[in-house]
Amino acid sequence: MAIDPQLLEILACPVCKVSVTLTREGNGLRCGQCLRIYPIQDDIPIMLVEEAFYKKARTKTAPKAKAKPKARAKKR
């Protein structure tokens, strides 16, 4: 069962006081300002800061980190 649209209209991030939106997966509510995601368990949004988490953003433009060259052993 989905979150009631009327409930979604009044829910806000407890930190930023900004409205939240449903995640793509439908399993959480995302704050657009602080980017916290509040989980939804048994169709109940858990709007506790302690339960919120951050999802790592996917960046297509960021280059991958190169491996550092191994240190060479010093000759005696």
| Tens-place pLDDT, residues 4-29 | 899 999 999 999 999 999 999 999 99
- Copy the structure tokens of residue 71: 């240190």
What CATH number does the domain located at 5-54 have? 2.20.25.10
pLDDT digits (tens, 9 = 90+) for 36-48: 999 999 999 999 9
**Confidence (pLDDT) at 56:** 74
**Residue pLDDT, tens place only, 42-74:** 999 999 999 999 987 655 555 555 666 666 666
**Domain range summary for the chain, segments of one domain joined by +:** 5-54
Torsion sign across C-alpha atoms 31, 28, 1, 48: negative
Compute the distance between CA of residue 72 and CA of residue 65 in angstroms, rounded to an integer: 21
Cβ neighbors of 72 (< 8 A, separation 6 or more) are: none
In this prediction the pTM is 0.70
